[in-house]
Structure 1
C-alpha cells in the first residue's frame, strides 16, 4: 500500500447484531459488507501490540451522536464487549487492506459529549484465572453447565410490573408466593420499555403489602419506567445448605464444604 493512500477503518459489532463502521478518510469506504462512515463517531490512538502472549491494547475515543454511538446505549451497556476490528486500507482500492487489530470493547467512560473506550485484544482471556478454586462455597454460577440447575423450573422466577423506581430501588406489583429474600443475589431482567434487555443483580428483596421492594447492587444504565415488565430470577448464596434445601441440587454442588478453615491451618500443632 502507498503511504499517501492509507486510511484506517473500524468496525464495531454489538451482541444484538448491530454493526457500525467508521473511517478517518474523508469519504465513505465499503468492504466486508460494511459501510465505513467518515464522521466523528469513532477514532483511535496508536495500537499497542505485544509479542507472544501479551495483551494487545489501544483506546478508542469519539463524540456521542444520535446517528452513531449514543450516550443512552453506552449507559445501558449495549456496547459492552462489542467486537472490534481495525484495518489499514488503501482508499483508492479497498481490496488492498490488512487487518491489524481484533478484539472487543472493555471499560467505557463518558465525559460531557464524548466517550472513551478501552480496547482489549484476543489474548485478554489469558489473564483470567484457570482451573478450579478450592473453597467451601460453590464455584459455579446458578444455571450454568457446571451447576446444571434448570432456571425455568416452577417457582424460581416471577414476573411483575414496575410500580415505583428511583434507579437502584424498585417496587413491583404482581409477584406473590415467594418469601422475602428469595430473589436476593439473583437477577432482575427488564422485559419491556426503553430499558428492555438490561440486567441487574439484586442486593435486597423485601415482600410487603405494597408490593415487592428490590434494591440493586448498582443502578441500571437506563431506569425502567412505571408499567415496564420485569422478570426476577431466584438467587443463590453458594452455600451447601442453600443448594440442598432451596434448589434440591446438592449432587451438582461445586464447592468443598469440608475443607478445614484457615484458622486450623495456621494454628500451632501440639504434640500429644
Structure 2
C-alpha cells in the first residue's frame, strides 16, 4: 500500500535536497548541535563536533562536551524523553545557575548539520523542554529532555474540593498583594487598588496601599498621600483611602543557613504565622529577583525558615519583600482576607465520610 494521497505531505522530516543527497551518500560529515533557550532569554549553543560550528548566523561551541541517549520516534502519543549529559563550565552552564533553577523548563532544540557545509540546512531531531536536572557531583549534569507530547500528560480542568483552588493574589483570588503603582492623569474606578511612591519608611512605597473610593482622573503631579489607615486623599478628581499593604519590605539581620535567618519586616505588627506559607522575593543581593516559599515565620525575633535553600548565600543587609500566606481554608479567607466572594472551593459539599455514615440505632 502506498501513501494516502488525501493526507497531504506525509514526510516525517523536512530537509533540503542538498542535505538529503548528503545523507544518502556513502560518507557523511554530520554533527549534532543543540540549543538551550532559558525563560530569561539567555541562549546557549553547543555541538559535539571537535570544533565550533557556524550555523544560521550563530556559533555552536565545542568547548563544552555533551552526550545524549539514543533518539527514537514512533507514531504513538507516548512521551518521547531522552537524557543529555554535559559538563559544567564557568563560561556557560554553571552549577550556581543550575541550583538557582534558571534552566528549569528551558526550551531545547537538537538537530544535525553538515559541518563541512552548514548551508545545506538542518535535520531536526528533537524539540522539547528540560525536565528534571541532576548534578552528578563530578562536574557534570544530566538533564531530562521532555518531548512536546509531555504537555498532553497534564491534567486540564479542576476537581471540587473543600479548599480554595486559587492561589493567593492571582486573577481569581483578586487579593491585591502587590498592586500597580499609581499613574498620573489616569482614570481609576471605584475599587481599584494602587501603590503611591514616596511614602515614609525604608521602602519607597511605605506600608500602605490606596483603594479608590470615588472614581476620577489623577492629577498631573502627585499630591501628598495621607498614610494613616482609613484616611483619604484627593488626587485630581479621584479619591483614595489608605489601607495596610499586604506586601511588606524586610531586611536580613542575621543568617543561620540558606534556609533560615532572622529579619526585620517593616510595619509587621501581626501574629506569628502571618507570613507562613507566604512568598519571599529577594530585591537585593545575589538572589535578587528570585522567590521562595516560607515554611514558618515567628513575630518574636523575626525568624524565617524557608521551604528550600536559596541558590546563593544570604548576607545580613539583603533586602526582600514578603507576602502573607494562605492555607486555602474558607475560615482564613473570611477572617484574614475578607475575600469570601472570590473563594474557589466548596467547603459545604459533603465529604467521603458522609457517604459512609448511617442513622444511629434506635
Question: Where does 1:86-105 land on structure 2 (aligned, <5 Å)?
Answer: 86-95=110-119, 96-105=121-130
Q: Decide whether aligned partners of structure 1 residues 60 and 269 sit closer, same or farther in structure 2, where only a CA change above 3 A counts.
A: farther
Q: Distance in 2 between matches of 1:231 and 1:33?
A: 42
Q: What are the superposed Cα offsets for residues 126-182 of structure 1, whole Å, 9 maximum, x if unpaired?
A: 222221121100111122232233221532111111112211112112433341211
Q: What is the root-mean-square deviation in Å for CA atoms of aligned residues?
A: 2.0
Q: Decide whether aligned partners of structure 1 residues 42 and 135 sit closer, same or farther in structure 2, where only a CA change above 3 A counts.
A: same
Aligned residues of 1:20 and 1:34 also touching (Cα < 8 A):
no
Aligned residues of 1:105 and 1:118 also touching (Cα < 8 A):
yes
Answer yes or no: is 1:64 the counterpart of 2:88: yes
Q: Decide whether aligned partners of structure 1 residues 93 and 145 sit closer, same or farther in structure 2, where only a CA change above 3 A counts.
A: farther
- How far 1:236 sits from its partner (Å)? 0.9
- Which range is displaced more, 2-11 or 32-41? 32-41
Match of 2:187 in 1: none
SS in 1 for 2:326: coil
Q: Decide whether aligned partners of structure 1 residues 252 and 40 sit closer, same or farther in structure 2, where only a CA change above 3 A counts.
A: same
Match of 2:345 in 1: 255
- How far 1:83 sits from its partner (Å)? 1.1
Match of 1:217 in 2: 307
- How far 1:43 sits from its partner (Å)? 3.1
Q: Distance in 1 between matches of 2:328 and 2:58?
A: 45
Q: Distance in 1 between matches of 2:160 and 2:47?
A: 48
Q: Decide whether aligned partners of structure 1 residues 20 and 133 sit closer, same or farther in structure 2, where only a CA change above 3 A counts.
A: same
Q: Distance in 2 between matches of 1:251 and 1:232?
A: 25
Match of 1:245 in 2: 335
Q: What are the superposed Cα offsets for residues 190-219 of structure 1, whole Å, 9 maximum, x if unpaired?
A: 1111122222111101112x4x21111121
SS in 2 for 1:123: helix
Match of 2:145 in 1: 119
Which protein is bigger by CA-based radius of gyration?
Answer: 2
- How far 1:41 sits from its partner (Å)? 4.7
Match of 1:20 in 2: 44
Match of 1:109 in 2: 134
Aligned residues of 2:48 and 2:65 also touching (Cα < 8 A):
no
SS in 2 for 1:72: helix
SS in 1 for 2:294: strand
Bigger RCO (CA 8 Å, 6+ sep)? 1
Aligned residues of 1:83 and 1:105 also touching (Cα < 8 A):
yes
Question: Where does 1:1-272 land on structure 2 (aligned, <5 Å)?
Answer: 1=19, 2-3=22-23, 4-95=28-119, 96-112=121-137, 113-153=139-179, 154=209, 155-165=245-255, 166-179=257-270, 180-208=272-300, 210=301, 212-268=302-358
Q: Decide whether aligned partners of structure 1 residues 82 and 267 sit closer, same or farther in structure 2, where only a CA change above 3 A counts.
A: same
- How far 1:224 sits from its partner (Å)? 2.0
TM-score (norm 1): 0.92
5+ unaligned residues in a row in structure 1: which ranges?
none
- State the aligned residue count: 270
- How far 1:188 sits from its partner (Å)? 1.1
Q: Distance in 1 between matches of 2:57 and 2:334?
A: 52
Q: Decide whether aligned partners of structure 1 residues 77 and 27 sit closer, same or farther in structure 2, where only a CA change above 3 A counts.
A: same
Q: Distance in 1 between matches of 2:320 and 2:71?
A: 41
Q: Decide whether aligned partners of structure 1 residues 70 and 268 sit closer, same or farther in structure 2, where only a CA change above 3 A counts.
A: same
Aligned residues of 2:297 and 2:304 also touching (Cα < 8 A):
yes
